[in-house]
Amino acid sequence: PLPISRIDATELDRRRIDVWYRDDATGHLCLMLAYLTTRTADWKDATIRLVVKGPGDPEAAAVREAGLREMLEEVRIAAEPHLVEEVDHETVIRVSAESSLVLLPFWLRGDGVVAPDGGSLGDFSADLGVVAWVMAVKDLDLDADPEEGQYEEVARAQDRAEETEQLARK
């Protein structure tokens, strides 16, 4: 079936968005796009998985995962870190084959575009469902808290509404 048909056939609460993340402008944009996707009715129950290349050492991996959790908490995006050893074609396909949506970075190199492992975008897209290729021109500020004024008031009101809704569900 077509990738979109596969998403439509997936129950709303079983949808998953994989964000292949690096701590750069494109990684920030991928994470923001995943978050914004979950703000829609069809994706509000989807989970976000933050896929990151981690160190091979278990202790260093635990530290990296803790740092990612702290960053996600700071920017107030509900996502689950998932560390992988490599970011290559085989790993991306193995890890994200069952995801409803995969956000993958791409880069311009020379006179062409390249995938995370330096290969062709088509090599990845053919083996995954729906892929959104992302490249940021400049960095995004993921700061979740407006500093002052009416935006701060609106953000605080929205936070209280979300907390009240969560309490009501419990």
48-70 tens-digit pLDDT: 999 999 988 999 999 999 999 99
Q: What share of the chain is helix, strand, coil (3-state, %, to 5)?
A: 45, 20, 35
d(CA 110, CA 37): 32
Distances (CA, A) of 141 to 28, 55, 144: 8, 26, 9
Please compute the mean of the pLDDT values over residues 124-134 and round it to a whole number. 83
pLDDT at position 5 is 77
pLDDT at 140 over 80: no
pLDDT at 152 over 70: no
pLDDT at position 75 is 93
Neighbours of 58 (CB within 10 A): 9
- CB distance 108 to 138 below 8 Å: no
Q: What is the CA radius of gyration of the chain?
A: 17
